[in-house]
Amino acid sequence: MGLKIALFVILLACAGGGAGYIYVQNLQNEIEGQRRVIAAQELADQQQKQAIASLQQNLETQTNALRVQTQRSQEIEVEMNRYLDIFRRHNLTKLASPRPGQIELRFNTNTKEVFDALEADSAALDRLDD
């Protein structure tokens, strides 16, 4: 009878050891799976931080460009008001009658300067969108 009990105890110990081994293996597999999930989440977190930093840099660049364009727009408005004041103070028909070529040349030159400035500003804004 002692031999049967000893064999029974050994059988129980082997069964318990096998079950314990399987349980430990399952835990190790689960831990490894969680490590993979954490690594993937850390990578996603890093990518999101990089995207946020890039968006913040773009916003800062656009804000600075807008500030420059606003200042340039104000300068152009002051210049426009100066030109409009000249038109208000002078009778251009009276001035152009004796020297039409001279007045026309001045108008064309200044008009070209204004259009060139507008084109340069528009090109600068277009490059910012890219």
Q: How far apart are CA 117 and CA 124, in angstroms?
A: 11
Residue 56 to residues 61, 69, 75, 96, 101: CA-CA distances in angstroms?
A: 9, 20, 29, 55, 54
Full-prediction pTM beyond 0.85? no
Rounded to 5 degrees, φ, ψ at 97 are -60, -50
What pLDDT, on a 0 to 100 scale, did the predictor assign at position 130? 63
What pLDDT, on a 0 to 100 scale, did the predictor assign at position 12? 62
What pLDDT, on a 0 to 100 scale, did the predictor assign at position 129? 65
User: pLDDT tens digits, residue range 58-92?
Assistant: 999 999 999 999 998 899 899 889 888 877 887 77
Q: Which amino acid is at 114?
A: V
What pLDDT, on a 0 to 100 scale, did the predictor assign at position 15? 63
Average pLDDT over residues 90-118: 79
Q: Residue ranges of the domains in the chain?
A: 1-73, 90-130
What pLDDT, on a 0 to 100 scale, did the predictor assign at position 66? 92
User: pLDDT tens digits, residue range 33-66?
Assistant: 899 999 999 999 999 999 999 999 999 999 999 9
Say which residue the tokens 């977190």 belong to: 45
Two tokens, residue 112 = 């070209």
Which residues have CB under 8 Å from 2's CB, separation 6+? none
